[in-house]
Structure formats: C-alpha cells, structure tokens
Structure 1
Amino acid sequence: MVAVLAFLAPVVAHAAEPDPGQCAPTPFPLRAGGTLATTLCTPAGGDTDTVMVLMPGSNYNGTYWDFPHAPEIYNFRRAMNAAGYATLVVDRLGTGASSRPASTGVTATGDAQALHEIIGALRTGLAGARPFGKVVTGGHSLSSGVAVLEATTHHDVDGVLLTGYSHGLNIAGALGIIGTYQPAEQDAAFAGGGYDSGYLTTWPGTREKSFHSPATADPEVVAVDEATKDVFAATEYPDGLTSTLPPMSTQITAPVLVVNGSDDVLCSRVCADTTTLQAAEAPHFSQAARLRTFVLPGSGHSVNLARNTADYQAAVRDWMESIAG
C-alpha cells in the first residue's frame, strides 16, 4: 500500500496543478481542402498580443507540445501560457484529429502553406478570437523544416523557433531512425484506421533510443510517448529536408532560436554545447535573424520530453521576451 501511495502521490499533485491556459478546440479549414485540428490557448487571467503556433514533427501529433504526463514539467504549451503567451497547437494533416488525405498529397510544402494560412487568420482574428499583433512559429524536427519553408516564402512571422533542427545532420543517426519505420497500417495502434501504405510510424519500443537519451530519459515519459505516437507521410521528407540545405535559411528575416539536445542522434558534433552550435549555425542565417542557439545537456531529439526541459523552456521564454516587447 505504501508503494502504491508513493506512486500515486505525484500523479495527484500533477492533477491538482491549475492549467495556466484557457483552451478551446479551433478546427481550421484549409483552402485546398481538409481541416487541421488546432487548439487555441490564451493565458488565464491575462491578455496578450503574442501567439506561438506550435506544430509537431513526424511521428508526433499536438500531444508533443501539450504533453499529458507531469504537465508542470513536460508540457511546453502550459509553460508558455504561464509566461503570458497564447499558443495554437496544430495537428499536421494526416495526424491527430486533422483530416487524413491520401499520403501522396501530404508534403512539407503543403504543411508550410497551411501554416501560412493559420498565421494570416491569427492576425485577423481566428474563429472569432482577438487578432494577434505578433505571431511566432515553433517547430520540431520535420516541422522546423516546415517553419523554415514558411518563413522564407512569406516573411510574415515575428520569430521562428526551430527545435531538433540543424545544418549538421548525422547521417548514420538518421539512417538508424529511418530503419525503425514501418507502414502505419501494419502497426496494431493504427490498424483499421484507413491509413494507406505511404503513412509510416515507428516500430513499437524504438522511440527511447531514437528520440530520447536512454541514459537520462524518464521511463514514464517514454511510455506515454509510445502510447501517443502518430504517423507521417513519407512524401513530407524530401522537401522538408531541403530546409537544412544552404542557402535557404539565410532568407529568414525574423529572429530565430535554434534548440537541440546534446545527445540527439540526428545531430552531429555541432550539438555538443550551445557555443559550438552557435558557431556552426551562424553562417546559415542572416544578421536579420539575430540568431540565438541553445543546447539542452543530456537531452535526446525530443527536447520537450527531457527531464531538464525546464532549462530549455527558460531559454525560450528569455528569447520570447527579446522579440515580443
């Protein structure tokens, strides 16, 4: 009984934490057809002119930014709401509660166009909400590439947060992760869900090694990550990866923060520490980007889910303060 109570105690504490955001599902129809599932959260008891649009990477849905386990630690959306910023968490096409078109119709370029439409709607008043004067995009991994594509095409954002992104891709690490992919229709978690063979997901039990640091990861976080995993379309990768090729990112004219984990298997030695990452990434951005970087020690690819993710959240808050004034 004592062991059971010890296990439940932190769960009860987590449940008692008040949500710092007032949230409402906000389905977003796309001009090309289909609907994105989005959730707009505004700071409870406060007003803000700044919103962060948070899009997850491949193998994830919006749960990555709005993580249900130990939210006072791992929930990035709540951390930003508590800091006084509104957030819009987005499920990419084919994931979460968004529309699921044929996989061949889903590309990073299409994701970027959808992001552009969302940004415009937020500036004019999304679903009856007040218009936002400042819009910052936040991407992870694949969706960081989407954010780069959007920012370089439309120049309509006030800041770009790129996590799990660098120009120093570790090819061996990338091939190792690709080797864990299988058609979603062959995974029991998605069987019978109407996924065609172009939608892929990770093999069960592979996410800890791919996206976390096995030496430091919280086993409960890894378990929830496995339970809430999602799919991606193979056709999102080719144009998404072009965002890491020079000179595309030099065309971004808004402030940029690049964040990586020091143990990210997708990143080469440039992710060893913040100073090394800053030196490696600086040539790939213009002066207008006012580039900042941050490396979270001991974190794998999914920095939102590292035990010390609070340090990364603090770095984002500091950067946001520098651009949201």
Structure 2
Amino acid sequence: MRSIAAAHAGPRTTFTGRLRGLLIAVPLLTTAILALTPAPAQASRPACQRYDTSVTLVPDATVRYRVAGWLCRPSRPTGTVQILLSGFTYDHRYWGLPGDDHAYAQAAIQAGMAVYTVDRIGVGASDRPPAEQVTVTAEAFVTHQLVQQLRHGNGWIRRVVGVGHSYGSAIFMVEAAGHHDVDALILTGYLHRPNPVQQAAIAAGLHPAHQDPAFAGERPPDGYVTTTPGTRGGDFFYLPGAARDAVASDERAKATGTTGERATMNLARDPSYSQHITVPVLVVVGDHDTLNCDAAAGLRCGTAGQICARERGFYPPSSPLYAAVIPAPGHSINGHRTAALAYALANAWAGAATSGLATFWPQCPA
C-alpha cells in the first residue's frame, strides 16, 4: 500500500501535486477523488445550527445529560453526515466549524458532506457528570444515542461516518463494535499498541482541572483533569511540523478529561472490540506521533504498509481496512502544516466508502 508519506514533496510542490503524487500508483482513485470533491463554489455557505441532544450514560437510566453539538450541511443536497469526536482534553474546537479555512469541518463541507461536531459529554459546553461515570463504554453508549437521534430526527441522513481523534477513535471503536449503526469509521491517532513511555509522560503531566487557570471560572467537579500549562506542545505536536501559532492556540483551547476516561481509554485496544467491527475502517496516523510510534521499540509508523502490518490482525479478515501515514505531524494532526493532506484523503475516502467506490482504494491485505 502506498502511503501519503511516500508522496512527501519539496516546498515548491503544490497541494494538488502532492495529492496526485499520493495517488500515482492508483490512477482510478484520482478520478474518484475528483468526482467526489465539489468545487468550492458548490459547497459554500453551509447551513449550521446548534443541535444539542439529551442522553443517558447507561441504558434505562433516569438521569439525563445534555450534549452540545453543531450540525452543518453543505449548500447542495447530501445524505451523509460525519460525526466528529475529539480526543482526551480536546473539545469540538479540534475540528473547528465551517468558515475556518484551516478546519477539518470546513474541508468535509467542501467535500459535500454534512458534519455533526460535538463537545463530548464532560467537556466544553456539554454537561459534566460525575467523573468516574464518564468512561469509554458510557461515551460509546452516548455516541450510539447521537447516531440514532440524527438518523431518526433528520430524514435526509442515510449514511453516518464516525470520525475520531485519539480517545474519540476509541469511543467509536466500542460504539461500532456493539451497535453496528455507522457506515464507516475514520480512526486517527489511535492504534492497538501505543507507546507506553509517552503515555506515562502525558499522564504524569495531568493535574486537577479546578487548579488550572484556564478553568478558574468554571469550577470543574472533582475527578476532572487537564494538562499542565505549557506541556501540550511536547505531548501532542511535532514542533518542526506544527502550524503557526498552533501550539499556543491548543493551549488556549484545552479541555478537560476525567478519571473514568483515564481508567478506560485503553479498553478499546482489546481485540474483542475491533474483531466485531464490520464496516470499512480508515486508520490515519502522523509519522511523528509519539503516542503511537517508536521505531526503536518496534512501533513503526513510517509507511501505510507498516500500519497495516500492525493493525490488520486486530480486525476481521472480511472487514475492509485501510491505512494512511501523514508526513510531519505529531499526535494532533489537525494542528500541523500537513493537515490539509489528511483532510483531503479522509474526506475523499469517506465519500468513496459511502458511495460504493471504496474498491478503488488499496486495502490492507488480510
């Protein structure tokens, strides 16, 4: 399989040239991407609305919580919506909203798909339940409710693509394995074998959110944590590849996590979940993602083929699995200069996976 990393070009290479370089080994795929990507004028002026939902953390519970969300549609008709879930200590701002030319959400709208970007339960404008109750299994059930409410409350939605970053990917893996109500998954920044050294380093840099100046006016409940000021650049970024002002913006926009999330975030790495995922899956990582990659420890992320070798055995042989490696980002791909490559590839793949054209893409061999 050819990876994006194989197409990394010099500074004078245009974006279009870099994308074509990625696809040179798969000529039919270029045609598919061009067919699935509308001109900017066709996808301009998205219609966005605040779209909050009421959920429970477990079935049959009586206590309900509010999940804050934003549902945005392109100007032309579409039957596909992407649900965007952020990672640990991130909220919806990781994906941005339409109107921000550097945001994933804007790229999805320009590709002709709707987006539903949310503040996961416990972060941002959403309610904050007791910290120990906010776990990956609870959030998977919350996400299942989001999928169902979107499908049943909007007659135009026929296809749902789950898009996760890091912990958000873990949530979608558990949700898709148990509920089978999404049509495709894009999992970024989450592999079955993480780098335990970097995991421990990030954990050591967490502290109670109520002690952090960023949340001084919010009084987060006990058990809510966040990153220590000044640590996110080293934890989540490959600094030589970071976009201008991205690290400072990431510090300003940081969100909270919970003790429940910390205790269960690795649960999705149990193959009993991925072995029950039956929809097409695209796995995307940055080649400098220290949470997932360490060549010296055998955790190689240099090519899509290496990602396939690491991940293929965790999924059913009959389930289509795809992989891509983005050149020069760290863990939080969206804050790096090559993010546009990831956006273009993910949205082209999402369009293909939901329209019967995924056969043009090279799969990880079973």
Q: Is the 8 A contact 1:273 1:297 kept in 2?
A: no
Per the TM alignment, residue 67 of structure 1 is displaced from its structure 2 partner at its CA by 6.3
Q: Distance in 2 between matches of 1:310 and 1:301?
A: 15
Verify: 1:85 aligned to 2:85, yes or no: no
Report the counterpart of residue 104 of structure 1 in structure 2: 132
* Letter of the structure 2 residue corresponding to residue 71 of structure 1: D
Number of matched residues?
Answer: 302
- Give the % identical residues: 35
Gaps of 5+ in 2: 1-42, 57-62, 294-298, 356-366
Report the counterpart of residue 65 of structure 2 in structure 1: 34
Report the counterpart of residue 265 of structure 1 in structure 2: 290
Verify: 1:284 aligned to 2:309, yes or no: no
Report the counterpart of residue 178 of structure 1 in structure 2: 203
Distance 1:190 1:133, change over 3 A: same
Report the counterpart of residue 236 of structure 1 in structure 2: 261
Verify: 1:72 aligned to 2:101, yes or no: yes
Matches within 5 A, 1:1-325: 20-31=45-56, 32-43=63-74, 45-66=75-96, 71-73=100-102, 75-125=103-153, 129-268=154-293, 269-325=299-355
Distance 1:300 1:77, change over 3 A: same
Q: Distance in 2 between matches of 1:310 and 1:277?
A: 20
Other structure's SS at 1:215 match: helix
Other structure's SS at 2:127 match: coil
Gaps of 5+ in 1: 1-17
Per the TM alignment, residue 243 of structure 1 is displaced from its structure 2 partner at its CA by 0.8
* Letter of the structure 2 residue corresponding to residue 42 of structure 1: R
Per the TM alignment, residue 213 of structure 1 is displaced from its structure 2 partner at its CA by 0.4
* Letter of the structure 1 residue corresponding to residue 347 of structure 2: R
Per the TM alignment, residue 62 of structure 1 is displaced from its structure 2 partner at its CA by 0.3
Q: Is the 8 A contact 2:97 2:106 kept in 1?
A: no
Per the TM alignment, residue 161 of structure 1 is displaced from its structure 2 partner at its CA by 1.0
Q: Is the 8 A contact 1:258 1:294 kept in 2?
A: yes
* TM-score normalized with structure 1 length: 0.89
Q: Is the 8 A contact 1:254 1:288 kept in 2?
A: no
Q: Distance in 1 between matches of 2:140 and 2:107?
A: 25
* Letter of the structure 2 residue corresponding to residue 323 of structure 1: A
Stretch moving more, 26-35 or 258-267: 26-35
Q: Distance in 2 between matches of 1:108 and 1:227?
A: 25
RMSD: 1.7
Q: Is the 8 A contact 1:112 1:147 kept in 2?
A: yes
Distance 1:220 1:67, change over 3 A: farther
Q: Which runs of 4+ in 1 moved over 6 A?
A: none
* TM-score normalized with structure 2 length: 0.79
Deviation per CA, 1:101-155: give whole Å up to 9, x if none.
2212211111111100111111112xxx434110111111111110011000111
Q: Distance in 1 between matches of 2:138 and 2:156?
A: 24
Q: Distance in 2 between matches of 1:205 and 1:219?
A: 16
Q: Distance in 2 between matches of 1:198 and 1:179?
A: 15
